[in-house]
A and B are shown apart, each in its own frame.
Chain A
C-alpha cells in the first residue's frame, strides 16, 4: 500500500529525534510566550524552556495537562494565537461543566488533513476510493477530520454523517462506497441491517472499514471483516490533541502508527505518574509538536495502551501504540461520546434536590452500545403510584439525554444493592466486552 509521505513516515529514528527536539523547543518557546497557563506552570517549577530543554527527556520535568485544565480554560484561555488567526473551532461533547474547546489555524488544518491522509492511506485508501463518513459532522472532530483527510488524498467523500442506517446502506449500494468510516459497533449494526434488508454484503463494493471511537477487540475485527468482506483497521484520535489522525494501523494490523514527527507520546503509570518503558501498558500522554492554535504539553488522554517499539514490515519507522484497552479515569466512552459520571450526578441532583447513589453501566446489546444508569431508590424518589414513578424515570431520562446526547436506560434499584468498592459505589462498570 502506498505511504502518503514516505520521506517523513519512514525517516531514520535519529533524524526523527532531532526533528522532535527542534519542534519541542519551538513549541515550548511559543507556549511560554503566548499561553498564560503554561507560563504560570513553568514558573512554578522554575522551568525556562530556553535553558532547561536540552534533550527531549527534559520534558519529563514538566507537569501534566489534564482535561480539567482545558475545561477550566473555557473557551479560549489556552489558545496560543489570537482568535483572528483561528479558522476553525471544535469542542468535545459538553458532558462536563465546561466543554473542552480547541482551535485550529490555517496551518493546523493543513497539518491535520495531511495526518488524516496518512492514516487513511495506511488503511488502504487511495484516490479512486469512495469514502463514506458516518461520524457526526459538528463540533466533534470525527466527521470533519476524516472528511478533510480523505479529500486531501483525492478520494470521493460521502459525508453521510450519523444514523439512518437503511439510508446509509442504500447510499453504500448505489454510490458504490468502497471505504466505510465508522465506529466498530456501527460496522456490525450495518452488517446486521444488510442481512435484515435481504441484501448481501459481498455484492457491495466495500473494501475497507476504518474504525475508531470506542474500545473494540480482535474478535470484532474478524467479525467485521468476514461479514462485510472488508479489511478493518483501527485508528486513534482525541479532540484535545488533534482529532483523528494521531495514530492509525497499516494493513499489517499490528498496532497504530503514531505520527511522531508531529506528536511526542509517553506512557505513564496513571497512579504513580512515572513514565513507563516500551511495551508496558499505561496511560497515553501526548505533547503536540507542530500545533499552533492549541498546543498541549503532556496531555493526559485517559486512554490506556502501550507503545510498540521496533520496525513494522510496512516500512514506516513511526512507533505504534497497541489497541486502546480502556480508560483510566472514570470517563465512559459510548458511541464516541465522553460521559463523566460526576456530571450525571449533578443532573440527577437537580431533579429532586439530592444526589442519589448511582452507577453507570455500559452494555452492548447486539452490536449497539448503550448506557444504563442504575439509581438507588430513596424515599424522595419513591412513589407508590406506578404512573408517577414512570414519569419520574422518563423525566430523568430526558434531562440526561439533553445533556449528553444519547438516551440512557434508567433502572431504579434497591437501596444498597449497587456494587461497592471500599464503601463507595463504583461510578462505572463496563460490561461491553463481557460475553453474556
Chain B
C-alpha cells in the first residue's frame, strides 16, 4: 500500500534519512523502532508531505506522492495522528472532529454518521462534545486525535508516538484502541518509543539507526532479537565490551 524507495531527506543541514526503503501492506501494522534522532519523525514528515525528500520515491497505492502538499496527501487517504497529539485545544471536541473531516465537508451526512460512530466508540467524547479540547485529559486528547484522523476515512493511519507523555494505565488503553483498529482491518504505521509494546502488536518492524534501516523483521522476531533487546528494550544484555 505504502512503499518508500531509497528516501533521502535533509532536516536543515542534517542528512536525516539516508536511503530508507520500507513498505506497508494492506491490513498490516508496521512499526518503526529507533532512538531519539534516528529519523523517525523526519520519516513521518516525509510521508505526510511536511518535508520534501531530496531523493527517492514515496508511492501510495501505486501512485507517487512525494512532494505533494500535506492536504493532498490526506485526500489520497493518509491520515496522521501527530506526535504530542496537536489537537486544537481552544476549539470544542466536536469542532476538532469536524476539522478532521474537512476533506469530506461537502458530505455532511457522512460526517454526521462518522462522528456518531466515533462517539459510540469513545463515549467520553460524546459526553464532552462541547467542552474545549484543551481541557481533556491526556488519554482523552489522544482518543480525540485518533478520532479526528479517522474522520478523513483514511486508507492508512500513521500514529506518531501515541503513548508519549501518558500514564502507564492510559498507554495500555491507547494500545488496546490500536489493537481494535487493527482488528477492523485498518492499515497502520506506528512510530513508537515504547518499542516493546509496539513490536508486540506489530506484524512487522523496522529498526532505524541514525537515518538508516539496520534491521527488519516480524514483530515477534524483533522482540526476541538480542540487538533490539539490548538497544531498545533495556533488557540487561550487555555489550561484549561491557562483559
* Chain A interfacial positions (CB closer than 8 Å to B): 15, 18-19, 21-23, 25-26, 29-30, 33, 49-51, 53-55, 81-85, 105-107, 110
Contacts and interface: CB of A to CB of B under 8 A. Distances in A.
B66 to A, nearest CB: 14
B21 A22 contact: yes
A54 B55 CA distance: 9
Closest 10 A/B residue pairs (Cβ): A50-B18, A82-B240, A54-B6, A22-B21, A50-B19, A29-B212, A26-B213, A21-B21, A29-B214, A18-B23
A23 B5 contact: no
Between B21, B23, B209, B226, the greatest number of chain A beta carbons within 10 A of the residue's beta carbon is seen for B21
Nearest to A110: B221
Contact of A53 (B6, B206, B224, B239): B6
Contact of A25 (B19, B23, B227): B19
A22 B240 contact: no
30 contacts: A15-B23, A18-B3, A19-B23, A22-B22, A22-B23, A22-B213, A22-B216, A23-B216, A26-B212, A26-B214, A50-B18, A50-B211, A50-B212, A51-B8, A51-B19, A53-B19, A54-B5, A54-B6, A54-B19, A54-B55, A82-B239, A82-B240, A84-B240, A84-B243, A85-B226, A105-B226, A106-B224, A106-B226, A107-B221, A110-B221
Contacts of A53: 6, 19
Between B19, B211, B221, the greatest number of chain A beta carbons within 10 A of the residue's beta carbon is seen for B19
B21 A18 contact: yes
Given A25-B19, A54-B55, A30 B211 contact: no
Interface string B16-30: 001111110000000
Contacts of A83: 240
Contact of B213 (A15, A25, A54, A84): A25
A18 B5 contact: yes
B215 interface: yes
A29 B226 CA distance: 18
B77 interface: no
Between B55, B209, B214, B240, the greatest number of chain A beta carbons within 10 A of the residue's beta carbon is seen for B214
B128 interface: no
Contact of B18 (A19, A51, A81): A51
Nearest to B18: A50
B165 interface: no
B186 to A, nearest CB: 20
